[in-house]
Amino acid sequence: MSRTSRKQQHRKYFKRDINRRPLKPIPYDDELTHFVLSNDTDFRDEMYTHLMLDDYDWMVYKLKTFFNTKDYGKLTIEFEYSGGGPCEMHVIQEIENKIYAHKIYFDSDIFEEHIKVFMRKHIEHWGNKQPFNGLDVAVGFYNGVLENFTKYELKKCSPDDNVYDNKYFWYLSYW
């Protein structure tokens, strides 16, 4: 098979599946214009963060969030730091009845910078009547990774992959 025909096949594949492309940063504003929100609930009920700090065996720090965007569909995002070496951002993207997994590697300095901002804002929010949301920090973290990643892997998933319930999905030979 010639090089040109491979390139044409590749182009044809991506034309068929326009959503199979790397994610881009999401602009953030106070009106949340780039997010899909339902009218009947407070946006803080639709988007939240979960922080896990685990030093039991080895340092494993994770920040997880999810939100629905106008351009990229529903995103479930997990930032992970595990001691030395590169960090990872795992993104499950649901768009137009398709599921994609994005595995993005980035430098630990980016994790450190954004997790400090997240924790500082969270602590400053203590005593407030409204629960802490952290969406602005999570979107800033997401954008910071996409602007400075070192490696990007993208996989189209099937429903059999069980991407939400399978904790080993990111670590096995799927990639």
When pLDDT is cut at 50, 70 and 90, the band that residue 19 belongs to is low
**Of 2-16, 17-31, 122-136, 146-160, which has the strongest mean pLDDT?**
146-160
Residues 6+ apart with CB under 8 A from 154: 20, 21, 22, 100, 101, 102, 103
Question: pLDDT tens digits for 36-92?
Answer: 876 655 555 557 788 888 877 778 899 999 888 888 999 999 999 988 778 999 999
When pLDDT is cut at 50, 70 and 90, the band that residue 6 belongs to is very low
Q: Is the pLDDT of residue 167 over 70?
A: no
Residue 115's CB is within 10 A of a number of other CB atoms, namely: 20
When pLDDT is cut at 50, 70 and 90, the band that residue 4 belongs to is low
The whole-number pLDDT of residue 5 equals 53
Q: Is the pLDDT of residue 161 over 70?
A: yes
> At residue 55, what are phi and psi to the nearest 5 degrees?
-115, 20
When pLDDT is cut at 50, 70 and 90, the band that residue 172 belongs to is low
Q: Is the pLDDT of residue 14 over 90?
A: no
The whole-number pLDDT of residue 170 equals 67
For residue 19, which of 155, 158, 170, 152 has the smallest C-alpha distance? 155
For residue 87, which of 101, 106, 59, 102 has the smallest C-alpha distance? 106
**Cα(175)–Cα(170) distance, integer angstroms:** 8
Residue 75 near residue 91 (C-beta atoms within 8 A): yes
Between residues 67 and 18, the one the model is more confident about: 67
Domains of the chain by residue range: 3-157
**Cα(94)–Cα(75) distance, integer angstroms:** 7
Question: pLDDT tens digits for 93-151?
Answer: 999 888 999 999 999 999 999 999 999 998 988 888 877 778 889 999 999 999 999 99
pTM metric for this prediction: 0.80
